[in-house]
Chain A
Amino acid sequence: MKTAFWLAGATVLALAQPALAGDTIKIGFVSTFSGPTAVIGNDMRNSFELALDHIGRKMGGKPVEVIYEDDGQKPDVGKQKTEKLIQSDKVDFIVGYIWSNVLLASLKTAVDSKTFLISANAGPSQLAGELCSPYVFSTSWQNDQTPQAVGTYMNQKGVKSVFLIGPNYAAGKDMLAGVKSTFKGEVMGEEYTVWPSQLDFSAELTKAKNSKAESIFVFYPGAAGVQFLNQYAQAGLKQQIPLYTAFTIDELSLPLQKENALGVPGAQQWVNDLPFPENKKFVEDYRKKYPGLRPTFYGAQSYDAAQLINSAVVAVKGDTSKKDEMKAEMQKANFKSVRGPFKYGNNHIPIQNFYLQDVVKDADGQLSLKTMATIVKDDQDRYASKCPMKK
């Protein structure tokens, strides 16, 4: 029993460590580092660390300290970690957030304490619309933008009809609504599957086949994407009905999807081969620093988040109490983004290009994602007008 007391005491001490006052820039990083989706969190952390290396681990002349916290993909845990970072560690910036629900749970804490929050992935419509805040920026996108680009691409390609399949949760519904808002052909059917526990998609695939739709659109992030593509290929549909995707194939899922993903198009605001010098440096150095791994769009967004913070801190010469000036600087998006130049809308969501990506075999015979075309230029999300902030 003494052990238990010792542990309890040690925890109190560990939690009681006073925030290191002094001349450091403190950044909190909330992402998922445990469970099956830890691969995403790891990629974000890797990219953020790489960005710090490139910056020289100093911003505005002050050393940077990053505190990583695991949200376990649970909203209440994410909120608690956000509180810890703000109240106990007294961070200047808080970055990360893969999941919409974790971000939405944590948002109020950050905004109330006037701590800058940079979403490096999650982009729920509320964030772009009524919940927009001067203290919140995104280096990713609003959920609907990517599937809207897919819908536009399908129009460009002359696709006449589509069958939509996605998971039954908020982002899944956003994705399907996004495609529908731009796709001009006929929607032959729409299926929502149980999230996150559905294992077998055979019922939906059979329906899609029998709907006589010309194409299928899906949104399945992470392991579900691997599962879906496996089952799609095994059902022999790959030769019959072409598949269009959003957030279903990325560098993390590709090693598991393998040949099943060959020739399956998707849209993204960043692809590893975009021809910007910053991007080349990011991708090459990433592969050097983390052998065997390849950066993903999650990583690219985290890399940009570090650059965005750096631009603000440099502008105020390290004096992070000048919040208004930092905000003004960040609104300019005055840094070299790996996705190429972009602007911020009034709601602090990027106005940016979306590219068509496809899976091809690269020079080493490995499967990789390749930019095929620009689908839309300077795309702004459709919730910006709901945001009361003026530019």
Chain B
Amino acid sequence: MKLQINVRNVVVALVALGLLLLPLYSAATGNIFILTLFTRIVIFALAAASLNLIMGYGGMMSFGHAAYLGIGGYAVGILAFEGIGSGFIQWPVALAASALYALVIGALSLRTRGVYFIMITLAFAQMAYYVASGLSRYGGDDGLTIYRRSTFGGLIDLSNRVQFYYLCLFCLFGGVYLIWRIVNSRFGMVVQGIRSNEQRMQAIGYHANRYRLVCFVISGTICGLAGALLANNTDFVSPAGMYWTRSGELMVMVVFGGMGSLFGPVIGTILFLLLEELLSQFTEYWALVMGPLLLLIVLFARGGIMGLLGRVGRG
């Protein structure tokens, strides 16, 4: 990949720089909340980036990604509740549980295509939602409060806002880097090839569904990491965060930012959540503005924000 100087890359670089420097700004102005807000944004950006891997590159429209946020979160929450506070145990369990869930539902769901795939992933996520609501030992649908964040043996203190923010940011950058490596690897090329022409790839001898499944599991695992981070950030997990509306929001963030572009989902998440926060401060009727805005983006900015930036770059 040759680095080019165009509007899109400049924007991405500025956003990355801004995210890196945010704690300085927060410290300088004494505004703690902006750090809290952006920690949440960064975590959702990671979830959106993981969804983009299968939606944008793999052509698999998952309408059930909120389930991984929940599974990752519940892994942390349940272990903490049972007295296992070490992140070295909690986090691998969160990742493994998400991966396992992705493997099972992926194997079943990948028999379908298109809208049927959207709906079957939704079905499994809804089932996960009802299972979580039924966990009466762990708060049922009241959710589970996490009294101590994951501990990493003095390596990093998650209760420290700045350290936790940088950990989340590290996970986001790491996740995006990983996705970049995957997309540009031979494996990634095959997955993208399958998206554009499945028959041809099958004919060449690639087992399309196996490639798809691996991609699906990777995406779910990354999203499970976001879930573990989110649970630590809110000190809380609840089934409400696994409802289908959350999956829908993630899809919106991805498409809003630009599906199939590496940084699109990150930019999309930042703008979507900031707009929501800003508009809701101006008016209770923020959706009255947000709704038509989404419509306009779709009508006039194909490829989301990143598509728009690309066109600006070309003049």
- Listed in ascending order, the chain A residues whose CB lies under 8 Å from chain B are 1, 4, 7-8, 10-12, 14-16, 18, 33-34, 70, 74-76, 79-80, 83-84, 87-88, 100-101, 104-105, 107-109, 124, 126, 131, 168-170, 173, 195
A-B contact pairs, 14 of them (CB 8 A): A1-B7, A7-B275, A11-B275, A11-B277, A11-B278, A16-B31, A18-B29, A70-B280, A75-B143, A79-B236, A105-B143, A169-B142, A170-B142, A195-B141
A104 to B139 alpha-carbon distance, docked (Å): 10
Closest Cβ of chain A: how far from B292's Cβ, in Å? 14
- B 296-315 contacts with A by CB, 8 A: 305, 308-309, 312
Interface residue B193 (Cβ < 8 Å from any Cβ of A): no
- Closest beta carbon of chain B to A44's beta carbon, Å: 14
Of residues 1 to 58 in B, which have CB atoms within 8 Å of A's CB atoms?
A: 7, 11, 29-34, 36-37, 40
Q: Report the minimal beta-carbon distance from B144 to chain A, rounded to whole angstroms.
A: 9
Please, how many angstroms separate the alpha-carbon atoms of A282 and B240 in the complex? 36
Instruction: Please state if A101 and B143 are interface contacts (CB–CB under 8 Å).
Output: yes
Cα distance, A184 to B229, chains bound together (Å): 48
Residues in A with CB closer than 8 Å to B270 are: 8
Q: Does B271 contact A (CB under 8 A)?
A: yes
Binding site for A on B (CB under 8 A): 7, 11, 29-34, 36-37, 40, 133, 139-143, 145, 147, 230, 234-236, 238, 240-241, 270-271, 274-275, 277-278, 280-281, 284, 287, 305, 308-309, 312
Task: Specify which chain B residues have a CB less than 8 angstroms from the CB of A18 in the assembled complex.
Answer: 29-31
> Given the complex of chains A and B, what is the CA–CA distance between A74 and B243 in angstroms?
11
User: Roughly how many angstroms separate A10 CA and B277 CA in the complex, as a whole number?
Assistant: 11
- Pick the residue among B7, B34, B238, B280 that contacts A101 (CB under 8 A): B238
Return the chain A residue nearest B141 by Cβ. Answer: A169
Contact between B34 and A15, CB atoms less than 8 A apart: yes
Given A108-B147, A170-B140, A170-B142, do A80 and B40 touch, yes or no (CB 8 Å)?
yes
CB distance from A337 to the nearest CB of B (A): 28
A108-B236, A170-B142 given; A33·B277 CB < 8 A: no
**Set of chain A residues within 8 Å of B133, measured between Cβ atoms:** 168-169
How many whole Å from A91's CB to the nearest CB in chain B?
12
A168 to B33, CA, bound (A): 35
Docked-complex contact B236 and A88, CB < 8 angstroms: no
Nearest chain B residue, comparing its CB with the CB of A100: B142
Q: How far is the CA of A269 from the CA of B308 in the complex (A)?
A: 58
How far is it, in angstroms, between the C-alpha of A87 and the C-alpha of B32 when the chains are bound? 6
Asked whether A1 and B145 contact (CB < 8 A) given A11-B274, A12-B34, the answer is no
Bound Cα distance from A168 to B308, whole angstroms: 46
Min distance, Cβ B232 to any Cβ of chain A, angstroms: 12
Q: Is the CB of B234 within 8 A of A4?
A: no
Given contacts A1-B308, A107-B145, contact A16 B34 (CB under 8 A): yes
User: With A80-B40, A88-B33, A101-B141 given, is the CB distance from A34 to B281 under 8 Å?
Assistant: no
Cα–Cα distance between A74 and B31 once the two chains are bound (Å):
24
In contact, A80 and B36 (Cβ under 8 angstroms): yes
A131, chain B: closest CB distance, angstroms: 8
User: For residue A80, which residues in chain B have a CB less than 8 angstroms away from its CB?
Assistant: 36-37, 40, 234
Please, which residues of chain B bring their CB within 8 A of the CB of A124? 142
Enumerate chain A residues within 8 angstroms of B230, measured Cβ to Cβ: 76
Q: What CA separation (Å) do A236 and B162 show in the bound complex?
A: 62
Partner of B33, one of A1, A87, A104, A195: A87
Asked if residues A104 and B143 are in contact (CB atoms below 8 Å), the reply is: yes
User: When chains A and B are docked, how far (Å) is the Cα of A124 from the Cα of B145?
Assistant: 13
Chain A residues positioned under 8 Å from B139 (CB to CB): 104, 170
In the complex, which of the residues B142, B241, B280 contacts A76, with contact meaning CB atoms closer than 8 Å?
A: B241
Q: Are A83 and B36 in contact (CB under 8 A)?
A: yes
A residues less than 8 Å from B234 (CB atoms): 75-76, 79-80, 105
Contacts of A7 in B (CB 8 A): 271, 274-275, 278
Centre residue among A7, A11, A83, A195 by max chain B CB count within 10 A = A11
